[in-house]
Amino acid sequence: MSVEEFRAADKLPLTVVVDNVRSLNNIGSIFRTCDGFGVEKIVLCGISATPPSPEIHKTALGAEESMAWEYAPTTIEAVRRLKSEGVAVCCLEQVMDSVALQDYAPEPGRRYALVVGNEVDGVSQEVVDACDACLEIPQRGTKHSLNVAVSAGIAIWHFFGHLADFR
């Protein structure tokens, strides 16, 4: 599929909001994953770098050209705008009362946003408090977190499984 065909194609009703992610390689990986699953849009927030960038391109492999994206100075601003548009906003964060990802069932016909956070600090508390749901990827082992690009990929796949039209 060409970039033009991709842009014209139906999209997964999901926006990925990137909350102050430092690594340009992680940002590039998120672009590539979003392209792969036909995500509607990416919103890069705060310190998150934006294309064009050789470091983003290194892992995005051109997805920064195909994906619709925008920049917001703060994540809370982006979340409030999305909510005002009727988008259900979920954050991917380990917090009290978070829902295990496999137990969350996005409803077809609704639009969603998925907020993924900083590699060290995660999603900011202000943003967590503003979200409609907090989702967590259950894990075992000595580490209690995954790389942000890996986590985003797992969660995007979950939304894709519930919302994509496979016909």
126-146 core/surface letters (b: 16 or more CB in 10 A; e: else): ebbebbeebbbbeeeeeeeee
Q: What is the pLDDT of residues 57-86, one digit of tens each?
A: 999 999 999 999 999 999 999 999 999 999
- Across-strand partners of 116? 18
Write down the pLDDT at residue 166.
57
User: CATH number for the domain including 88?
Assistant: 3.40.1280.10
Write down the pLDDT at residue 141.
86
Provide the domain limits for residue 50. 3-163
**112-117 β-sheet, strand order:** 69-72, 39-45, 12-19, 112-117, 88-92, 133-136, 99-100
Confidence class of residue 144 from pLDDT cuts 50, 70 and 90?
confident
Structural domain count of the chain:
1
Confidence class of residue 167 from pLDDT cuts 50, 70 and 90?
very low
Mean pLDDT over each residue of the chain, to the nearest integer: 95
Confidence class of residue 52 from pLDDT cuts 50, 70 and 90?
very high
